[in-house]
Amino acid sequence: MEKTSEEKKSFQWKDVFQKIISDLKTLTNLHEDTNIESTIASIKKDVEFKGANVWILFFAVIICSVGLNVNSTAVIIGAMLISPLMGPINGVGLSIGIYDTELLRLSLRNLLIMILVGLVASTFYFLITPITDAQSELLARTRPTLFDVFIAFFGGCAGIVAASRKEGKITVISGVAIATALMPPLCTAGYGIASGQLRFFFGAFYLLFINSFFIAIATFLVTHLLHFPVKQFVDIQRQKVVKRSIIIFSILTIIPSFFLAWNVVSETRFNSHTYRYIQDIQQLDLFSEKEIINVSRKYSRKEKSLTLSVIGKPLTEQQIRYMQQLLPKYGLNDVNLIIKQTGGTFDLGAQTAFIEKLLMDKDIQLQKKDSIIAALNNKLQLMQTSGVNELQLAREVKVQFPDIKQIAFSNSIFINLDHLTQDTVPTIFIQWEETPPNKKALLSQMNEWLKVRLNLEKLKIIEVEM
């Protein structure tokens, strides 16, 4: 019996769908080219922390601390590439995935020792460095965000997938070391200890924990996805105890990390909502004669506040209440809105004029300083030319310009009455024997010649009747 046209169409679509599914499986197949034994051996080797690895970590910490101290991104990246800190973290993820308690114990022990070495080395550096200010690269490691969680997790996934290939992708692993940024928060924590600023220490250590944990979780998930063989025990009862212990440890570690991650998500949402709120209220009519010049956010479990510094015509109590009523619309129900505004009845135009006047006064002060500098330069030039023999120079002037009868040299102070600025200028006074018809050309020629002769940038020639 022949198939109907509808059955043929259904059969064709079914074939197309199966072909797409098959191609997707082939395209995303991770099991091909996987070298499980080599990957486990490589991770176990990287977990070791002794001999050369100790010194490499110490040098990497010092390099990273210098980079944070002088705000050099290139130096920080270099320190990330040579740091061996990733090894024990991958070891934790692998040990949980294959139920290897010995590897888990060794990985946690070595990771703790590495962190202590990093803290000691970075604290020592920041205690002796003459640069004590926190640069932008350092400050960026004190407040983790949701994006740090994403970077750590997906970076860890990329790292373990690349490491599990028969030919390890060195460029991928290097990129993961840079992206996941384990070394900078460790060194920033050392800065917090050295400077006595515990908020820096806890913020940076929090970021280090987030990065380490989510890299380990990524390693654990990929090893399960690739079906890494779990460790077998002769004693079945012991095997059950070990598996149960690792599961309990994993849960105890995951629970606080989710709590921390939720805090990061909540703070990120808070910042995003306040940004939208500020953007929208500035479009309202009540801000037509006002301007927000500063925004301060505070987020914690106990308090959430948004402080706006406003200039212009003061907001009324009714307008402030209206702004508070808008908060729930942006998901800011429990946020305390604080308005700081200038007193008085000045409008925005008056305050703008006041600021412009301040800037103008500043420009006048700069002009006066420039005038003083120019005067000092002229005095310096006069001092440099004071060794000139006036009689010899007068003879040369007589040869060059025979129409001149007398000449005098002086250092004159000229004052601009409009701006009340003064300038000290080398001055030549001359008296003509008889006024020449080409006097203007002779004066210009004489001015240029004397500037070169006396090595002066500025010179004034004045005619006198003596």
262-265, long-range: CB < 8 A, 24+ apart = 263/301, 264/144, 264/145, 264/146, 264/148, 264/149, 264/210, 265/146
On whether the CB atoms of residues 92 and 107 are closer than 8 A, the answer is yes
The H or E element containing residue 6 is helix 5-27
Query: Which long-range contacts does 288-293 make (Cβ < 8 Å, 24+ apart)?
Result: 289/313, 289/347, 289/348, 290/315, 290/341, 290/348, 291/348
Per-residue tokens: 329: 């619309």
Q: Is residue 190 part of a domain?
A: yes
* Helix 101-128 × helix 86-98 angle, to 10°: 160
CA distances from 321 to 307, 339, 370 (A): 15, 11, 51
Angle between helices 36-47 and 146-163 (to 10 degrees): 120
Instruction: Give me the residue label for tokens 């924990």.
Output: 209
3-state secondary structure of 415: strand
Task: Note whether residue 26 is domain-resident.
Answer: no
> Does residue 245 fall inside a structural domain?
no
Are residues 360 and 226 both part of a single domain?
A: no
Q: What is the pLDDT of residue 120?
A: 92
Per-residue CA distances from 339 to 3, 106, 264, 296 (Å): 77, 54, 26, 11
Torsion angle in degrees (nearest 10) through CA of 419, 422, 427, 429: 60
CA distance 79 to 86: 13
**Rounded Cα distance, 287 and 292, in Å:** 9
331: in domain: no
Residue 203 placed within a domain: yes
Q: Are residues 225 and 357 in the same domain?
A: no
Checking phi first, is residue 365 left (phi over 0); if not, alpha (psi -120 to 50) or beta? Answer: alpha
Q: Is 45 helix (H, G, I), strand (E, B) or coil?
A: helix
How many structural domains are present in the chain?
Answer: 2
How far apart are the C-alpha atoms of 425 and 431, rounded to whole Å?
19
Do residues 200 and 191 lie in contact, with contact meaning Cβ atoms separated by under 8 Å?
yes
Residue 16 falls within a domain, yes or no? no
CATH code assigned at 154? 1.20.1080
Statement to judge: residues 356 and 227 lie in one domain: no
What CATH number corresponds to the domain at position 409? 3.30.300
Examine the domain organization and report whether 84 and 213 are in the same domain: yes
Strands 336-341 and 304-312: parallel
Do 179 and 147 contact (CB within 8 A), yes or no?
no
Q: CA-CA distances (angstroms) from residue 334 to 134, 297, 299, 304, 317? A: 32, 13, 11, 7, 20
Structure tokens that stand for 308 in this block: 């706006």
Judge if 85 and 226 occupy the same domain: yes
pLDDT at 27: 67
Does residue 387 form part of some domain?
yes
Quick one: pLDDT at residue 374? 64
As averages over each run of 10 residues, the pLDDT of the chain (466 residues) reads: 54 69 68 75 83 87 86 81 84 82 87 91 88 68 71 82 69 65 85 85 83 83 80 65 69 67 79 88 79 81 84 82 87 86 52 58 68 61 54 78 80 70 77 81 83 79 75
Does residue 246 fall inside a structural domain?
no
Locus of tokens 């072909």:
19
Supply the range of the domain harboring residue 178. 31-231
Q: Among 231, 251, 277, give the residue marking a domain's end.
A: 231
Domain-terminating residue out of 201, 231, 261: 231
Give residue 401's identity as a one-letter amino acid code: F
Q: Is the CB of residue 159 less than 8 Å from the CB of residue 86?
A: yes
Q: What is the pLDDT of residue 346?
A: 43
Instruction: Give the end of a domain, one of 196, 212, 231.
Output: 231
Q: Which amino acid is at 65?
A: S
pLDDT at 4: 58
Closest among 79, 190, 80 to 126, alpha carbons compared: 190
> According to the model, what pLDDT value does residue 116 have?
93
Q: Write phi, then psi, for 41 (nearest 5 degrees).
A: -65, -40
Amino acid identity of 383?
M
The residue ranges of DSSP E strands in 248-355, in sequence order, are: 290-299, 304-312, 336-341
